[in-house]
């Protein structure tokens, strides 16, 4: 009997998906009831990049296109499972279901067809759902996210998913009735399909929207160390017009996504793709894994922590003076006089939400720095610079205390207070290595499930520890400067963009680079 991989590879041939086996090979490893797919180099892959050409990958490093664009995989867009290619495409087009939800519905429909689905061999190869996503974790496992920037996001995700199912997805299948094969779908079916779309979907183009892209989603992710990237033709208005007649249909079928080699690899080494540049909070939220060597992990600092350090009255005054809005006020509107409030609805409309973040390099975001500077200058201190550094250290220390100490099994350590506080990143790293093994795929630095939550703790704590050490150094330098040391050079933090570490739903797609 043919294996799932053999059936899938036969299906690839029928769908005109080209995998250059002289470049890469697909492997499937099974164990503990889990199937792990990965792609490996079939030979040494060498590549030189031309410096100074157009930054096609958009990562700002100035590197141009590969001098030799080795195509590892070519995937016709028609072979991708999208809102346009699914059997229920007509009903989707006539419905109000759009965006990522359209792909989730398409995937649910094709799954419900069983052997009748055109994508059955592909669906048989990939998991039925991504259990490593936090929305599926037990309460015990979720303790590993305690104190992290992702802690409060899981319940919100679950609520939003339930809302999408009841308001949009369930009515779609109920209206289909006997016509559709998915009349008996459940919220669990929706959550399973949503997890696959969250962790595997790519942007195909403006016509197809997001899509399940066979083969492309078998490449595992490595941040900043990808060997291939997925490229597609740029969206063109003429694409919308060229779908009529046999010539248009043939052209649409020939339109392809390509996996191009962009970084070398040795024979038998795993070949990685990129799902975009994410910190570990973003990786866990959307894909269910994190990386020990991820250099993009930032740490959110809550407004409550800042207000506790500077005082609530001063915090309100700082926001007012800086033209910032309190997210806490928005969440507590109509709940009485407690908490932090904005002065008026009119003003809140034109104010930007406060962005309090510590970067991987230990720098403070512009807003956090500005609020603490305002507080230090408003205090009437003779040395506002010294007070500023002291406030920074207090905020960082308070933020660090948000992580509970973990013991084996994920529970909180009841002796934490007696032992004098939480653990360091090094202690957590030791606990990680004693308790968990890295993923089979991922180069030995990738962890999934609750272990990924522990890695998030570690990488966030590293950023906070770096910031605390930087602040202590600045306090010492400030003291030396007061004594007449003119050689002191204080670092100036780079201006940071406003951003949220984790935003949107888990089913937002990854990117496809334009050719």
Structure token pair of residue 232: 């597609």
Residue found under tokens 């100036």:
492
Quote the radius of gyration of the chain (alpha carbons, Å).
Answer: 26
CA–CA dist 312, 306 (Å, integer): 9
pLDDT in tens, the chain (515 residues): 789 999 999 999 999 999 999 999 999 987 666 788 999 999 999 875 433 333 344 444 434 454 557 899 999 999 999 999 999 999 999 998 999 999 999 999 999 999 999 999 999 999 999 999 999 999 999 999 999 999 999 999 999 999 999 999 999 999 876 454 445 789 999 999 999 999 999 999 989 999 999 999 999 999 888 999 999 875 544 444 444 555 555 455 458 999 999 999 999 999 999 888 899 999 999 999 999 999 999 999 999 999 999 999 999 999 999 999 887 644 444 344 444 444 444 444 456 778 999 999 999 999 999 999 999 999 888 899 999 999 999 999 999 999 998 765 444 443 333 333 579 999 999 999 999 999 877 677 899 999 999 999 999 999 999 999 999 999 999 888 877 655 544 444 444 455 566 666 677 666 556 55
CA–CA dist 478, 468 (Å, integer): 15
Please give the pLDDT value at position 36: 86
> Quick one: 54 exposed, middle or buried, by C-beta within 10 A (0-12, 13-18, 19+)?
exposed
Q: Largest Cα–Cα distance in the chain? A: 85
In the three-class reduction of DSSP (H, G, I as helix; E, B as strand; rest coil), residue 11 is classed as: helix
Task: Classify domain 1-79+213-277 at the CATH topology level.
Answer: Beta-clip-like (2.170.270)
Please give the pLDDT value at position 137: 96
Cα-based distances in Å from 273 to 10, 23, 96, 296, 442:
23, 14, 33, 17, 11
CA–CA dist 43, 21 (Å, integer): 9
Domains of the chain, by residue range, sit at: 1-79+213-277, 81-212, 299-482
Answer whether 36's CB lies under 8 Å from 29's CB.
yes
Note the CATH number of domain 81-212. Answer: 3.90.1410.10
CA–CA dist 194, 214 (Å, integer): 17
Answer whether 212's CB lies under 8 Å from 15's CB.
no
Q: What are phi and psi of 205, to 5 degrees?
A: -170, -175
- Taking residue 51's Cβ as centre, other Cβ atoms within 10 Å add up to 9
Name the β-bridge partners of 202.
211, 510
Q: What is the pTM of this model?
A: 0.81
């Amino acid at each position: 009997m043919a294996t799932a991989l053999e059936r899938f590879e036969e299906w690839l041939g029928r769908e005109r998906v080209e995998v250059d086996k002289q470049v890469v090979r697909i492997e499937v490893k099974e164990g503990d009831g889990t199937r792990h797919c990965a792609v490996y180099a079939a030979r040494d892959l060498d590549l030189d990049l031309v410096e100074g050409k157009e930054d096609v990958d958009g990562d700002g490093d100035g590197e141009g296109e590969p001098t030799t664009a080795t195509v590892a995989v070519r995937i016709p867009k028609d072979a991708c499972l999208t809102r346009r290619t699914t059997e229920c495409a007509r009903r989707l087009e006539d419905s109000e279901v759009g965006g990522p939800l359209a792909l989730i519905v398409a995937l649910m429909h094709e799954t419900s067809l069983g052997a009748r689905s055109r994508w059955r061999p592909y669906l048989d190869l990939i998991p039925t759902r991504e259990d490593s996503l936090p929305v599926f974790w037990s309460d015990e496992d979720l303790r590993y996210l305690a104190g992290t920037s992702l802690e409060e996001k899981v319940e919100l995700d679950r609520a939003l998913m339930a809302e999408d199912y009841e308001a949009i997805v369930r009515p779609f299948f109920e209206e289909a009735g006997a016509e559709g094969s998915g009349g008996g779908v459940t919220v669990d079916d929706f959550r399973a399909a949503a997890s696959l779309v969250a962790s595997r979907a790519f942007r195909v183009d403006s016509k197809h929207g997001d899509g399940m892209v066979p083969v492309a989603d078998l490449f595992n992710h490595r941040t900043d160390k990808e060997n291939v990237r997925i490229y597609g033709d740029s969206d063109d208005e003429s694409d919308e017009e060229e779908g009529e007649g046999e010539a248009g249909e043939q052209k649409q079928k020939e339109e392809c996504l390509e996996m191009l080699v962009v970084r070398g690899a040795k024979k038998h080494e795993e070949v990685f793709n990129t799902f975009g540049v994410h910190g570990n909070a973003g990786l866990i939220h959307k894909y269910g894994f994190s990386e020990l060597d991820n250099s993009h992990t930032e740490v959110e600092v809550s407004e409550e922590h800042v207000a506790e350090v500077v005082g609530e009255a001063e915090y309100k005054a700082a926001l007012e003076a800086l033209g910032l809005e309190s997210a806490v006020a928005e969440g507590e509107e109509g709940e009485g006089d407690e908490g932090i409030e904005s002065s008026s609805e009119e003003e809140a409309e034109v104010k930007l939400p406060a962005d309090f973040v510590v970067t991987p390099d230990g720098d403070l975001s512009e807003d956090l720095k500005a609020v603490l500077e305002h507080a230090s200058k408003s205090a009437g201190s003779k040395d506002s610079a010294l007070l500023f550094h002291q406030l920074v250290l207090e905020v960082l220390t308070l933020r660090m205390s948000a992580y509970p100490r973990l013991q084996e099994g994920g529970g909180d350590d009841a002796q934490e207070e007696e032992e004098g506080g939480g653990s360091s990143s090094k202690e957590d790293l030791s606990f990680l290595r004693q308790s968990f093994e890295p993923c089979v795929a991922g180069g030995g630095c990738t962890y999934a499930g609750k272990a990924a939550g522990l890695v998030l703790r570690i990488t966030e704590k590293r950023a906070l520890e770096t910031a605390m050490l930087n602040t202590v150094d600045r306090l010492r330098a400030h003291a030396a400067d007061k004594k007449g040391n003119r050689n002191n050079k204080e670092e100036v933090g780079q201006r940071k963009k406003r951003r949220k570490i984790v935003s949107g739903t888990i089913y937002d797609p990854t990117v496809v680079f334009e050719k």
